[in-house]
Amino acid sequence: MRKTYKAVFLGLLILSALSFTGCAGSKKAIWGNPEQGVLVSLHPEQGKSFKYEITSDVTSTMERNGRSFDSIQEFYTSYTLTAEKPDSFVNFIFIADTGYISFQYGKNKRDIDMSAIFGKRIKISFTPKGKFLSKKTTPIDSIPKPEKGRRRFGLKPINFIRTGFFELPEKRFKKGESWTETKTDTIVNNDTTRNYHSENIINYENTYTVLGFEKRAGKMCVHIKIESDFTKDMTTTGKNMNSSSEEEGESTTEVWFAYNMGMPVEIQINSFAEGTRAFSGQFSSTMPFSSETKQTVKLVN
């Protein structure tokens, strides 16, 4: 059975807390070379800014009372990360620059206004292994309360960063190597203004393959393929309705990571998911669903 996990995302391409100082020559020695293998670790130059673009297309089908309902979600955003002085964590200033989201359900189409979050600065941190530290997230600028449509799609500015990074093992990557690992993630979201709570437990079995070394956007990268089988159990509680869902699926992710620069250059995600979603409350029901996701993250500057 196939399945998708869009929210890929998700995690951070970061493996070890190595030194962030030193000359360019010593950095190249630290991070390795294609012949001996390279360390894939996030180690951006302090003060340097990186601009990324994300495009995402999600096609979903849900069945209810013997009828099928299709929906299409299109999403685009660009954001800038500026590397801060590292301590025991990897630190950035995050700014969402521009973007849009369009949602079509049957003949109904809606565009969500995201402009209120553009230009708002947020300090974010990750552990050396790539775990996003939500408790260390610090807004620098005042961020207005999201309007209803933006809340529905989870468009908090910081959510954009999750798509662009993946946690990878702490080891040297050599062409042709392949290995499998398992992991479990728990993602919790709370919105006290809406009395909303959700918890996602995701189990992965990831097979990593080092396809080789090549230039991407003018930068020498290690090219990694990640094939994932996963299960996802989600529960949500709200003011008027509770829901739960069970999913299974698989995804294929290709990553081009500039190991000397210490940042990802491009990520391509293709996934498919299917499962059931149950609602309780005034309009209780159980509905099968499936979804297909195509996502691209690119370093553009």
CB–CB of 38/261 below 8 Å? no
183-189 contact pairs (CB < 8 A, 24+): 185/10, 185/11, 187/7, 189/154
pLDDT at 170: 77
For residues 138-148, give the mean pLDDT: 74
Reported confidence tier of residue 6, pLDDT bands at 50, 70, 90: very low
The gap from C-alpha 273 to its chain's centroid, in whole angstroms, comes to: 16
Overall average pLDDT of the 20-34 stretch: 53
- According to DSSP, residue 151 is labeled H
pLDDT at 26: 40
The pLDDT assigned to 19 comes to 27
Nearest to 243 by CA among 185, 285, 186, 300: 285
User: pLDDT band at 148, cuts 50/70/90?
Assistant: low
Q: 252 CB contacts (<8 Å, ≥6 apart)?
A: 225, 226, 227, 228, 269, 270, 271
For the cut 90, the answer to whether the pLDDT of residue 41 exceeds it is no
pLDDT-derived band at 74, boundaries 50, 70, 90 = very high
Confidence of residue 149 (pLDDT cuts 50, 70, 90): very low
Long-range CB pairs of 150-156 (<8 Å, 24+ gap) are 150/112, 150/113, 150/114, 150/116, 150/117, 151/191, 151/194, 153/73, 153/101, 153/103, 153/112, 154/189, 155/101, 155/112, 155/114, 155/117, 156/117
**pLDDT for res 12:** 27
User: Residue 104 has what pLDDT?
Assistant: 92
The mean of the pLDDT values for the chain is 80
The closest of 247, 287, 298, 288 to 271, measured between CA atoms, is 247
Q: Is the pLDDT of residue 33 over 50?
A: yes
**Percentage of the chain surpassing pLDDT 70?**
80
d(CA 103, CA 6): 16
pLDDT tens figures, 172-231: 899 999 999 998 888 787 766 667 788 889 999 999 999 999 999 999 999 999 999 999
User: Which pLDDT value is given to residue 150?
Assistant: 45
Bridge partners of residue 209, in order along the sequence? 178, 225
The whole model's pTM is what? 0.80
167 or 204, greater pLDDT: 204
Whether the pLDDT of residue 55 is over 60: the answer is yes
- Are 167 and 132 a contacting pair, CB within 8 Å? no
Segment 78-96, tens digit of pLDDT: 999 999 987 878 899 999 8
Q: What mean pLDDT comes out for the span 111-115? A: 85
What's the confidence (pLDDT) of residue 64?
81
More confident residue, 112 or 266: 266
Residue 12, Cβ neighbours under 10 Å: how many? 22
Task: Provide the pLDDT confidence category of residue 65 given band limits of 50, 70 and 90.
Answer: confident
**Beta carbons of 149 and 110 less than 8 angstroms apart:** yes
Q: How far is the C-alpha of 46 from the C-alpha of 60, rounded, in Å?
A: 41
E strand or H helix at 159: helix 159-163
- Report whether pLDDT(258) > 50: yes
Instruction: Please enumerate in sequence order all residues whose Cβ is within 8 A of that of 199, keeping only pairs 6 or more positions apart, or say none.
Output: 186, 187, 188, 189, 234, 235, 236
Residue 293 has pLDDT above 60, yes or no: yes
The C-alpha angle with vertex 238 and arms to 237 and 240, in degrees rounded to 5, equals 125
pLDDT in tens, 92-105: 999 989 998 899 98
Q: Is the pLDDT of residue 70 over 90?
A: yes
Contact, 248 vs 1, CB < 8 A? yes
* Residue type for position 178: S
Report all structural domains of the chain as residue ranges with CATH numbers, in order of start.
Answer: 24-299 (2.30.230)
